Amino acid sequence: MIRIFVLTPELRKELKAPLGLLIKGSFEETSRKVAKLVAEKKPKKLITVGDQVTMNMISNNIPPDVAIVDSKVMRKAISPVKFEADKIFQINNPPGTITEESWEAIKKAINSLGRSKVVVDGEEDLLTIVAVLLAPYGSMVMYGQPKQGVVVLEVKEEVKKRFREIIERMKKVN
């Protein structure tokens, strides 16, 4: 039974707002602030969702443990992110959905030793939810907030609970 979670119009509006700590500013400013946060918190796993945030972390010598990318920035195609990964997972994940294939690949990527890259054919936006739900406590998940900055999520019980509630409210398709 293949299960796909589909974004509802109500959730689409709600998810436009940052789901964690929004660090505003230019790429340089946000990268500096994030670098400081990562150095302080020493996350169990550092997971980036999105090409721009992944490139910013790499260019600031903060390579993520897991990078989830779709070779697009603001829906425009870009060159693939140069990221030395020990494992690469290729998945299909249409816009506005979370596929079962995405859950499986992200789970494997998070549980792999070394660095992993999940290359998405489709859209990676909603995969932040999957990353938070599958990441071990004490991890950090980051994604870009268009035209504003970077959103940082520290993986702890209340954050996972909130993301489980989001998943519950999505439409399920078998």
What confidence tens digit (pLDDT) does each residue in 103-150 have?
999 999 999 999 999 999 999 999 999 999 999 999 999 999 988 999
Contact between 110 and 47 under an 8 Å Cβ cutoff? The reply is yes
Average pLDDT for 45-53: 96
Mean pLDDT of 70-83: 88
Per-residue pLDDT, averaged over 61-80, amounts to: 92
Average pLDDT value for the chain? 93
Mean pLDDT on 62-68? 96
Structure-token pair, residue 18: 């940052």
User: How far is 106 from 10, CA to CA, in rounded Å?
Assistant: 26
Percent above pLDDT 70 for the chain: 99
> What is the spatial order of strands in the sheet that 171-173 belongs to?
97-99, 4-6, 171-173
pTM flag (> 0.85): yes
Instruction: For residues 6-32, give the mean pLDDT.
Output: 91
Summarised one tens digit per residue, pLDDT across range 80-100 is: 888 889 999 999 999 999 999
8 A C-beta contact, residue 126 and residue 19: no
| Closest C-alpha to 48, from 78, 98, 59, 77 | 59
- Rounded to an integer, the average pLDDT of 4-17 is 92
pLDDT at 2: 58
Q: Give the count of beta carbons closer than 10 Å to the beta carbon of residue 73.
A: 17
